[in-house]
A and B are shown apart, each in its own frame.
Chain A
């Protein structure tokens, strides 16, 4: 028994490790394809990005060994000092860092560049886990809440000051961790609504409206979840209905004014279902929720209506340009438009390895970093994107499941932190390449070119795997 507990090789979750290596490998060959150039076709050419990425992958394996060798108690014991170092780096980079793409978030030592924000994700995650799992923490104590608030706000503010909005937003994903650990559901809804409204403000369209309603409904249901069979049936029928309405909005021209009809139906059905659920459960929260939902839908709809029916064409154009919609394909929305063209041109099976014309000929910006997903979409098609999407989904859910089996609260909270960060990165990165999310420059984990980001995600993940491997050593 003791032997088994001690043998890290047996206790490691090899499934997660396998997915990690598959993703890293796929990332590497897509970087190769994205920057492929017939003059430098050797995949081991270290002057090229794919060559460098290979070096960083090699270094990652070394890092993995170190992470796994270190005692797991070390991570919880040194969580706060790490946090301090992380904050220090964020402050230092403001003074010593260099500016890349208008954000001052990089250290440059010789030819080597490092982005400290990538590593602060780990340190903040550790500190959060340590604080929430400490015996002194209680949701009831205002002092605890204040410290928690400051713990999270300090790095976020520093990152905002660096003008790296994208990375700052990542920390909002900790709301999942907090929710799991007992955050008041009203607060959770509020933070969630904040994120949703933020995205809405940037890319208002009907799809987003429907998605918001859908998400809100799911959240609403889960918050008031019951074992009641009837309400479950209602929930699933609602889910089906919402999916169908997304499909209808996207693909039909049956109605003369389908938007209005669909929105009205949508709002009507949501209200009806809420009413039914209220009658079954008699919950006041539900009624409030339903009113809120209808209110938001009505608001978004009326904005839409005002936009198209009251404003003049040139006024609409101006606003559209401001929002980066498609009106001017070479203007503000250029990146997203090119990225959508690249992914869309892949079709079902894609153009094949190295055959992508959009990404290869630089139509898509940042093709090996933030927009690496375009290469996957163009060269491997819908099949490729589905596989990558599934791998990420599997990885995230796997981490959540692993977290739940932890005996230590610290490990569980840290696990949720890892899952949240990965989820936010994946959803927003892929979302922005297909026009679902605003373009905020955050990398696709394990795929995007860059040492800082690869190492940070590797450390982030493997600390958790180490904690998980040692879970049996902890006695409850």
Chain B
């Protein structure tokens, strides 16, 4: 028999080599491969986001406008799902089996082992049943969320809406993760960073079934959520509601400002909608139907629609004329209807009377003297210079400016200057005769109701204003900065006084165009406007402030396609002023008549 004792070395050699291979592999795994440690962290730690409650929103008097409401999102980790009674779940959620499988596939496509949204915003009733059955549905879990609650159902355009973040926001702001909510419009969007608060994170150790086992490192890395900051608006909820009530079945807007502070008391855009429509499961459907409506209720007309201002612009022409010295308080012009059309009225002796009667030829002449200064011989060159000088003054009165009021979407409007007409007609190819209609607030002018209201506030203040704004306090602290800085206009106080007198006459004197705005115990100063509209009926406009001395409210009312300014806009302004100052309205009949009138043009009505 052969000697095979030597073979023990071969055997020991093989054992040795295999152990060395295992040892090298262990070295590789445990010392060199860092990726496994990261895998391990993801594997066993679950970061649970604790959502902060979003800041509440109050009106100027402490009325709660926006609060939060609990909602429950049903999440699914497909990996952890086992066989279960699908029918029972479908019944609990009132969904069909097809819908169930669609949702399931959606979740699986997102991730097999991360929670993905299975069913959004389970209602409280559904949740009550679901909660009892949760043990039957392995892999499903409930995530608490908060939804907005717009209890008062008003001020949709001011408050805005909250919706899921889109891709663009996700990429630019690391605060958000998919499915988070963010302000989409209005104050909700503008003050998103204050309202949203700060998310908290709780780190848990979980087992393979994602069951929470323990808090990680005794909560060392946990952070508490910081609730969002509460906002106090400048809006008067009562006045806002009343404004929306009056504007029912009308297209247009009301902007009311407290002249002494620039605080916006109400900002009505009509047609409006119940902000609660854009919350919860039906948000998508409601949004679609709102956006498809012909009257376009989602547009905030008060700040983003711009119109020709009509006769109310005569106030600005008067102030500039007086300041420039081309107009004296007692200057008179004949009511020469060959220049521009006018309505029958007594002779306009002096600026105040001209305003009272809203005499078109009068302001035609004033604007002519403003534009044709006689600086250059050529009327073309002269008009160019004159128009630019005029534009500078107009801008000084607060037009052509997008006020930073605290809501996105403010439109700056349009005050045409020489550049504008150069582009339109060519340089030196236009003169006063081309642009005269600016003098009576027609032509290429585009002014937003907000600008009209602020202009009115300037007159009410006799020459200065505060940046109009909508948020007064953040978490109880007054918002400082531009909102509290007085802005002076370069015009003499007396000229404003003179114009104010004219406005007082408009409402309170015989042959005043705004007699519908008259209130017994309050001296209302106002000005009517009627803007010609090539697409249909004229727009009805009224600006006013009251009382004449120490005014509490400046208001602009713009009703589209409603005809003469004195007929619809003036009484609406009157009711608003009376409601705000007196707390109640004396003429209930008028109130009823206004509220019930439907002034939406046939075109839009028929389209619906």
On A, residues with C-beta under 8 Å from B are: 138, 176, 179-182, 207, 211, 214-215, 218-219, 222-223, 225, 243, 246-247, 250-251, 330, 338, 340-348, 357-358, 361-363, 377, 381-382, 385-386, 389, 392-393, 396-397, 400, 404, 416, 419, 423, 427, 430-431, 434-436
Q: Separation in Å of the B322 CB from the closest CB of chain A?
A: 81
Top 7 A-B residue pairs of the complex, sorted by shortest distance between their CB atoms:
A344-B36, A345-B40, A361-B207, A222-B10, A357-B44, A382-B30, A344-B29
A419 to B14, CA, bound (A): 12
B15 at interface by CB-CB < 8 Å? yes
Q: A344-B40, A396-B15 are in contact. List 9 more A-B contacts (CB 8 A).
A: A243-B20, A344-B29, A347-B31, A357-B45, A361-B205, A361-B208, A377-B26, A423-B15, A434-B29
Q: Does B16 contact A (CB under 8 A)?
A: yes
Taking CB atoms and an 8 Å cut-off, the chain B residues in 255-295 that contact chain A are: none
A330 to B16, CA, bound (A): 34
User: Is the Cβ of A381 less than 8 Å from the Cβ of B22?
Assistant: no
Bound-state Cα–Cα, A434 to B23, Å: 10
Partner of B32, one of A179, A246, A251: A251
Expressed in whole angstroms, the Cα–Cα distance for A397 and B15 within the complex equals: 8
Tell me, yes or no, whether B209 is within 8 Å of chain A by CB: yes
CB-based contact B205/A357 at 8 Å? yes
Contact in complex: A341, B36 (CB < 8 Å): yes
> Which of A345, A361, A400 is within 8 Å of B37, CB to CB?
A345
**Complex contacts, A182 vs chain B, CB 8 Å:** 1-2, 4
CB distance from A367 to the nearest CB of B (A): 11
Q: Are B43 and A219 in contact (CB under 8 A)?
A: no
> Residue B22 contacts which of A219, A382, A400, A427 (CB distance < 8 angstroms)?
A427
Inside 8 A of B28's CB, which chain A residues have their CB?
A: 250-251
A348/B31 in contact, CB under 8 A: yes
Cβ-based interface call for B98 (8 A): no
Residues of B within 8 Å of A346, CB to CB, are 30
Q: Are A363 and B207 in contact (CB under 8 A)?
A: yes
B21 and A340 contacting across the interface, CB-CB below 8 Å: no
Q: Which residue of B lies closest to A331 (CB)?
A: B112
Chain B residues with Cβ under 8 A from A344's Cβ?
Answer: 29-30, 33, 35-37, 39-40
- Given contacts A180-B4, A423-B15, A427-B18, whether A382 and B27 have CB atoms under 8 Å apart is yes
Residues of B within 8 A of A416 (CB): 11
Indicate if the CB atoms of A393 and B4 lie closer than 8 Å: no
Can you list 26 A-B contacts with CB-CB less than 8 angstroms, sorted by A residue number? A176-B14, A179-B10, A182-B2, A182-B4, A218-B13, A222-B7, A222-B10, A225-B6, A243-B20, A247-B24, A343-B30, A343-B36, A344-B33, A344-B40, A345-B36, A357-B43, A357-B44, A357-B205, A363-B44, A377-B26, A386-B23, A404-B5, A416-B11, A431-B22, A434-B29, A435-B25
Measured between beta carbons, the chain B residues less than 8 angstroms from A427 are 18-19, 22
B213 at the interface (CB under 8 A from A): yes
Per-residue CB proximity of B396-426 to A under 8 Å, as 1/0? 0000000000000000000000000000000
List, in ascending order, chain B residues with CB within 8 A of A345's CB.
36-37, 39-41
Hey, which chain B residues are within 8 Å of A138, CB to CB?
1
Give the shortest distance, in Å, between B292 (CB) and chain A (any CB).
Answer: 43
The reply to whether B21 and A211 contact each other, CB–CB distance below 8 Å, is yes
- Residues of chain B whose beta carbon lies under 8 Å from any beta carbon of chain A: 1-2, 4-33, 35-37, 39-41, 43-45, 79, 112-113, 205-209, 213
Main SS at interface, chain B: helix
Q: Which residues of A contact B213 (CB under 8 A)?
A: 361
Asked if residues A180 and B7 are in contact (CB atoms below 8 Å), the reply is yes
Q: Is the CB of B30 within 8 A of A348?
A: yes
Known: A345-B39, A430-B22, A434-B22. A219 touches B30 (CB 8 A): no
Residues of A within 8 A of B27 (CB): 382
Please indicate the chain A residues that have their CB under 8 angstroms from the CB of B13 in the complex: 218, 222
A330 and B113 in contact (CB under 8 A), knowing A180-B4, A180-B8, A361-B207?
yes
Chain B residue numbers with a CB within 8 Å of A207 are 25
What's the nearest-Cβ distance from chain B to residue A137, in Å?
Answer: 10
Residue of A nearest to B214 (CB): A38
Q: Assuming the A-B contacts A180-B8, A182-B1, A219-B10, are A363 and B43 also in contact, with contact meaning beta carbons closer than 8 angstroms in the complex?
A: yes
The one of A243, A341, A382, A434 that contacts B39, using a Cβ cutoff of 8 Å: A341
The answer for the CA separation of A330 and B21 in the assembled complex, in Å, is 27
Q: Which residue of B lies closest to A250 (CB)?
A: B28
Whole-angstrom distance between the Cβ of A450 and the nearest chain B Cβ: 22
Chain A residues whose CB sits within 8 angstroms of the CB of B1 once the complex forms: 138, 182
Chain B residues positioned under 8 Å from A389 (CB to CB): 19, 22-23, 26
CA distance A393 to B41 in the complex (A): 32
B67 CB, min distance to chain A CBs, angstroms: 40
Bound CA–CA A307/B16 (angstroms): 33
Q: How far is the CA of A340 from the CA of B25 in the complex (A)?
A: 11
Q: Chain A CB within 10 Å — which of B6, B7, B9, B206 has the most?
A: B7
B113 CB contacts on chain A under 8 angstroms? 330
B19 touches A393 (CB 8 A): yes
Q: Nearest Cβ distance between residue A148 and chain B, in whole angstroms? A: 15
Given contacts A218-B13, A357-B205, whether A347 and B44 have CB atoms under 8 Å apart is no
CB distance from A5 to the nearest CB of B (A): 24
Determine the chain B residues whose CB is within 8 A of the CB of A377 once the complex forms: 26, 29-30
Query: Does A381 lie within 8 Å of B30, measured CB to CB?
Result: yes
Q: Is the CB of A361 within 8 A of B26?
A: no
CB distance from A474 to the nearest CB of B (A): 18
Is B206 within 8 A of A436, CB to CB?
no
Q: Given A179-B10, A218-B13, A363-B208, decide whether A340 and B32 contact each other with a Cβ distance below 8 A.
A: no
Are A340 and B36 in contact (CB-based, < 8 A)?
Answer: yes
User: A382-B27, A404-B8, A436-B22 are known contacts. Are A362 and B209 too (CB-CB below 8 A)?
Assistant: yes
Shortest beta-carbon distance from B215 to chain A in Å = 13
Least CB distance from A328 to B in Å reads 9
Contacts of B15 in A (CB 8 A): 393, 396-397, 400, 423
Q: How far is the CA of A344 from the CA of B29 in the complex (A)?
A: 5
Closest residue of chain B to A251, judged by CB? B32
Say which residue of A225, A386, A397 sits within 8 Å of B10 (CB atoms).
A225
Complex contact B29–A222 (CB within 8 A): no
A181 touching B207 in the complex, CB below 8 Å, given contacts A219-B14, A222-B13, A385-B30: no
A75 to chain B minimum Cβ distance, whole angstroms, is 22
How far is B6's CA from A215's CA once the two chains are assembled, in angstroms? 18
Give the distance to chain B from A171, nearest Cβ to Cβ, in Å. 17
A346 to B19, CA, bound (A): 20
Chain B residues in 8 Å Cβ range of A385:
26, 30
Distance in angstroms between the alpha carbons of A341 and B79 in the assembled complex: 19
A181 vs B1: C-alpha distance when bound (angstroms): 10
With A247-B24, A382-B26 known as contacts, the answer to whether A176 contacts B11 (CB < 8 A) is yes
The reply to whether B16 and A362 form a contact with Cβ atoms under 8 Å apart is no
Q: Are B12 and A400 in contact (CB under 8 A)?
A: yes
- Does the CB pair A397–B39 fall under 8 Å? no
**Do A434 and B25 form a contact, CB below 8 Å, given A346-B30, A404-B8?**
yes
A345 to B170, CA, bound (A): 32
With a CB–CB cut-off of 8 A, which chain A residues contact B20?
243
Residue contact A330 to B79, C-beta cutoff 8 Å: yes
A207, B22: Cα distance in complex, Å: 11
Expressed in whole angstroms, the Cα–Cα distance for A389 and B209 within the complex equals 32
Shortest distance between the CB of A220 and any CB in chain B (Å): 10
CA distance A182 to B5 in the complex (A): 9
CB distance from B40 to the nearest CB of A (A): 3
Q: How far is the CB of B409 from chain A (nearest CB, A)?
A: 48
| Contact present for A246 and B24 (CB under 8 Å) | yes
Closest Cβ–Cβ distance, residue A6 to chain B (whole Å): 29
Is A218 in contact with B26, judged by CB distance below 8 angstroms?
no
CB of A25, distance to nearest CB on chain B (Å): 21
Is A386 a contact partner of B31 (Cβ separation < 8 A)?
Answer: no
What is the bound-complex CA distance between A5 and B31, given in angstroms? 49
- Residue of B14, B25, B37 touching A218 (CB-CB under 8 A): B14
A285→B27 CA distance, assembly (Å): 36
- Please report the C-alpha to C-alpha distance between residue A247 and residue B7 in the assembled complex, in whole angstroms: 29
